[in-house]
Chain A
Amino acid sequence: MSTPYSFAGQNFELDSSGALYWPNQNCLVLSDVHLGKIQHFRKNGSAIPLQAQEENYLRLEGVISRYAPETLLIIGDLFHSEWNREWTLFEAFVKKQQLNIILVAGNHDVIDHKHFEALGIEVVSAKKLKNIQFSHYPEHDTSHFQISGHLHPAVRVQLGAKEKRTLKCFYRKNNQFVLPSFGYFTGNARVSKHDLDEIYVIAEDEVISI
């Protein structure tokens, strides 16, 4: 289900859901959930099954019950687009939780921050915990340790002579660590293996280094 990993002198767990757990801070970090995306598509005429939107909450609840964190740090793109009625599902979810939720706003987070704050969610543009900077975009300046999302990274893995698969991955490049997208209905952007220092792919319910 998860694989231990150390970065910036800290110990983490890489979870097969795409989340990162930091035991020392009792903090669960995840990125790019893109809630409301299915409703957004439906609103624009694409008949994607509505039931599928439950999937994100099942995933969130699953990973929260596994680690029972004190803090849930979402590093951007919690919602996909403008406000829509999926908000009611999100509201119900938040009310059930006993934890601090912090949102580092991403480029997709266009919903007025007041809505989040009304639910007790702290909205910030970046967050520093210990020696690590958490932000949505990977920054150009790589002189300090940084964890981010935004890219939805995935790599192409050769499985056999003719079979290749694109799998979501965590990766490190110098002082920068990037999380895969956590959301159920989110696309991937393939990254090239050459210039990365470490890659961990999500292979069904395992996280393995390649």
Chain B
Amino acid sequence: MIKSSAISFYKALGYTPHDFQVECWEKTSAGTNGLLMAPTGSGKTYALGLPMLLKADPKQKRLQGIWITPLRALSHEIYAALEQANQTLCLGLDIALRNGDTSPNERQKQQRQSPHILVTTPESLHLLLASKGYPKYLGALTMTVIDEWHDLMGSKRGVLIELALSRLKRLNQELMIWGISATLKHPKQAIKVLAGNEHTQNEWTLIKAQWEKNIEIHSVLPETMERFPWRGHLGILLIEQVIPLIEAHKTVLIFTNTRSQCEIWYQKILETAPEYAGQIAMHHSSIDKSTRLWVEKAIKNESLKAVVCTSSLDLGVDFAPVEAIVQIGGPKGIARFMQRAGRSGHQPGAKSIVYFIPTHAIELVEAAALRRAIAEHLIENPTPYLLCYDVLIQYCCTLAVSEGYHPHQVFEEVQSTHCFQSMTINEWKWIQNFLEFGSQSLASYDEYKKVTRSDDQRMVIENRGLAMRHRLQIGTIVSDASLQVVFQSGGHIGTVEEWFASQLKAGDLFTFAGRTLEFIRLKELKVIVRRSSSKPTKVPSWMGGRLSFTSEMSWLLKSSLQQALDPNTIQDPELQALRPIFERQTKESYLPKTDEFLVEVFQTREGHHHVFYPFEGRFVHEAMASLLAYRISLLGPLSCTLAYNDYGFEILSDQPIAIETIWDNNLWDTKHLNEDLYQSINITEMSRRTFRDIAAISQLVFSGYPSKAVKTKHLQGSSQLLYEVFKSHEPNNLLYLQSLRETLEHKLEEGRLQLALKSIKKAKVLVAHCETPTPFSFPIITDRLREKLSNESLAERIRKMTEKLERT
């Protein structure tokens, strides 16, 4: 039934359906669950949207299908597509949209008279679970689709989906679940996370769209490689060559890796080509929402020539006029690159064109690596989160504010998810005790109050204030402490982080959202500014902007270097252009093969440089450098500083380190890895940051009512303080332990570190004693931001730092 109606719909539109769409229609008719791997723009919405519409019964006035998307912008698009099909096929269905922008009025209307189909976000779905009567409201559901699953599954929003599905499955035994994702390397894992352990994998279908998205990568090569810098991160040098690219296309998106880089590029383009004023715009997540929406609209109606942006435009909306993408610097991951490439060439049959702008010479290898990734269809799987007690606590409260829950029943459901499959009954009991008694045994003077037990043993939140605060805080996206930037005359421009604002003095000029602004004063969490026509001196930077190589990217990079070993087989123009650099590298040192591990040693007046090249990305190198330095220091006194980039890391010391001793003493060993990491890296500092999110998600801290300044009855607390309190007074608190675990697993990428250490142990070691810095080592050793290994007291370190400042 579905199949024939769907085909007739396509006939009406004048298209022939793709094979994968037909396959989806067949499988959904049979009622199977599944995962569809298809790129944006391939017709994936109708592949699963038509079954959702056609399965719904218009006569039954109940909610029958839910479509979940990660982005509001995307949900508008899905809604429009579904509505179009609804009209064309005269299905007479009521389709509604519910997300953070939906007015309370509209929501109440949806609650009273339920639509047939709802397009929503993970957070809004949880809000539904937090409202009274949800079992009835959601009880007639037949199909749910989770869009962009590859993006969601690598974040805690994915955990929100897993938990919501566990409840929906209980309410509707026959519920059909489908995920949609980009092409992944391990689709089975993506299915496992979505399905949980209730369904065996056999019951899930995998459908892969045979859809060749044609992507072309053209690197912008410097005119002479000899004069192109060996290090750098902005790429501004090539701006003269970027302008003609903008000129040649209708609309171009220029992707930068950080928000500050975005600001700088925007300024520089206008300086180089002032005639573009009014025709180019900027888009990043700190810019005011209305401005962002305006930019998105302007792209669609072709009134912009170029938009300088960050990952804020990675996902979602189809921008038909975009003909080409400019990527500045390495995107560090294949999935991110493919997303960005997919923003261009949306017209049927069009190619996606990407221009790659290197910021330094060696980065050109990344372009060659990405080309291989496209040819071989490699996209890394995101690492799903496990045992997120913070999200679980939030979910329990969600159920407690609406209908209440029986702990034993919900335990079963929760344990059926991928995230919580290894949770023990004791951990579950701990969480229930945490919610009911604040993790204390009953003390007479304790006034803890949150979840209570009703007469029929349901866990409930009856206090209206608590319930309201909970509903306001549903979700897992924690924003930084940020301050709004507003004009003195009124009008929002966007947000900057608190620490940047705190450095500003009255009269300081900075560039933001493409304008030069003069700081006037701080007032009630607002940065008051006025426009200025002078040249700016500062560019705000935002924390957490740094990206690191993914493991697939790292592997591809190594094998691309392999190609460069034999100059006669080089095909990529980038590797061809890099030939003089490779020759220089080979002359001074080596180009390592994939089974070799290169170490370069040389001396300058700064001291003895020891540079190691695992090519595993900055995060892994950071951990590895500290670990190795720590282990070397156990053999004998060592005073050193550390530096790293995506290719390798350096230990700079006043004494030479005998490289053999590292192997002789088995210092790459994976045994005692955790203990040694705790000793060598400031894990406390890192997990304090992780804990910030955990505290907000589990609602230990209240972030305040939106649009109401501070008035929160003395309830604002900093998560930093809480971290210290738990560390010294409740070190077995599961949320505190979670922050340590997440730091190791997600920030330090412990799993990858283990694998990398093992492969270093196996590799053939090449030690090069060099005369001068090599093209490989130069960007690392010139890094002025160095980490110092130190065991002095805090006061001692402050004194030294102060002395140093006084001298300079």
The listed residue with most A CB atoms (<10 A of its CB), out of B439, B503, B788, B795, is B795
Instruction: With CB as the reference atom, state the residue of chain A lying closest to B725.
Output: A52
Chain B residue total in the interface (Cβ 8 A): 56
Contact B787 A45 (CB under 8 A): no
Q: Which residues on A sit within 8 Å (CB–CB) of B443? A: 50
Contact A81 B785 (CB under 8 A): no
Q: Which residues on A sit within 8 Å (CB–CB) of B465? A: 44
Contact B785 A162 (CB under 8 A): yes
Q: Which residues on A sit within 8 Å (CB–CB) of B730? A: 49, 51
Q: Which residues on A sit within 8 Å (CB–CB) of B711? A: none
Known A-B contacts A160-B790, A163-B682; the reply to A88 vs B798 at CB < 8 A is no
Q: Which residues on B sit within 8 Å (CB–CB) of A172? A: none
One digit per residue, 1 when the CB lies within 8 angstroms of any chain B CB and 0 when it does not, for chain A 102-119 equals 000000100000000000
Instruction: Report which of B440, B733, B788, B799 forms a contact with A208, defined as CB distance below 8 A.
Output: B799
Q: Does A41 contact B (CB under 8 A)?
A: yes
Bound Cα distance A51, B730 (Å): 9
Contact A81 B714 (CB under 8 A): yes
Q: Does B30 contact A (CB under 8 A)?
A: no
Q: Which residues on B sit within 8 Å (CB–CB) of A208? A: 795, 798-799
Known A-B contacts A48-B722, A186-B721; the reply to A160 vs B714 at CB < 8 A is no
One digit per residue, 1 when the CB lies within 8 angstroms of any chain A CB and 0 when it does not, for chain B 82-101 equals 00000000000000000000
Bound Cα distance A187, B700 (Å): 15
Q: Does B295 contact A (CB under 8 A)?
A: no
Q: Does B689 contact A (CB under 8 A)?
A: no
Contact B729 A49 (CB under 8 A): yes
Instruction: With CB as the reference atom, state the residue of chain B lying closest to A80.
Output: B714
Q: Does B446 contact A (CB under 8 A)?
A: yes
Q: Does B438 contact A (CB under 8 A)?
A: yes
Considering only residues 166-210 of chain A, those with a C-beta below 8 Å from chain B are: 185-188, 190, 192, 194, 201, 203-204, 206, 208, 210
Q: Does A143 contact B (CB under 8 A)?
A: no
Q: Does B15 contact A (CB under 8 A)?
A: no
Contact B802 A210 (CB under 8 A): yes
Q: Does A85 contact B (CB under 8 A)?
A: yes
Q: Which residues on A sit within 8 Å (CB–CB) of B700? A: 46-48
Q: Does A128 contact B (CB under 8 A)?
A: no
Q: Which residues on A sit within 8 Å (CB–CB) of B715? A: 40-41, 44, 46
Contact A161 B702 (CB under 8 A): no
Contact A159 B797 (CB under 8 A): yes
Contact B794 A204 (CB under 8 A): yes
Q: Does A84 contact B (CB under 8 A)?
A: yes
Q: Does A8 contact B (CB under 8 A)?
A: no
One digit per residue, 1 when the CB lies within 8 angstroms of any chain A CB and 0 when it does not, for chain B 677-694 equals 000001001000000000
| A contact residues, range | 35 or more
Bound Cα distance A169, B720 (Å): 17
Contact A44 B466 (CB under 8 A): yes
* Nearest chain A CB to B409 CB, angstrom units: 23
One digit per residue, 1 when the CB lies within 8 angstroms of any chain A CB and 0 when it does not, for chain B 426-445 equals 00000000110011100101
Q: Does A98 contact B (CB under 8 A)?
A: no
Q: Which residues on B sit within 8 Å (CB–CB) of A204? A: 793-795
Q: Does A42 contact B (CB under 8 A)?
A: yes
Instruction: Report which of B434, B733, B787 forms a contact with A160, defined as CB distance below 8 A.
Output: B787
Bound Cα distance A42, B448 (Å): 4
* Nearest chain A CB to B405 CB, angstrom units: 17
Known A-B contacts A43-B448, A51-B729, A208-B795; the reply to A187 vs B721 at CB < 8 A is yes
Q: Does B701 contact A (CB under 8 A)?
A: yes
Q: Does B717 contact A (CB under 8 A)?
A: yes
Instruction: With CB as the reference atom, state the residue of chain B lying closest to A183.
Output: B721
Q: Which residues on B sit within 8 Å (CB–CB) of A190? A: 499, 502
Query: 15 extra interchain contacts, Cβ-Cβ under 8 A, other than A47-B434, A156-B502, A157-B798?
Result: A40-B715, A41-B715, A42-B446, A43-B448, A44-B465, A48-B725, A49-B729, A52-B729, A81-B713, A159-B798, A160-B787, A161-B641, A161-B785, A187-B721, A204-B793
Give me 28 A-to-B residue pairs in the complex whose CB atoms sit less than 8 angstroms apart, sorted by A's number: A41-B717, A43-B449, A44-B465, A44-B715, A45-B699, A46-B699, A46-B702, A46-B715, A47-B438, A49-B726, A49-B729, A50-B438, A50-B440, A50-B448, A52-B725, A156-B499, A156-B502, A159-B801, A160-B788, A161-B786, A162-B786, A163-B682, A194-B505, A204-B793, A204-B794, A204-B795, A208-B795, A210-B802
**Which 3 A-B residue pairings sit nearest by Cβ, starting from the closest?**
A47-B438, A45-B450, A203-B795
Binding site for B on A (CB under 8 A): 37, 39-52, 80-81, 84-86, 88-89, 108, 156-163, 165, 185-188, 190, 192, 194, 201, 203-204, 206, 208, 210
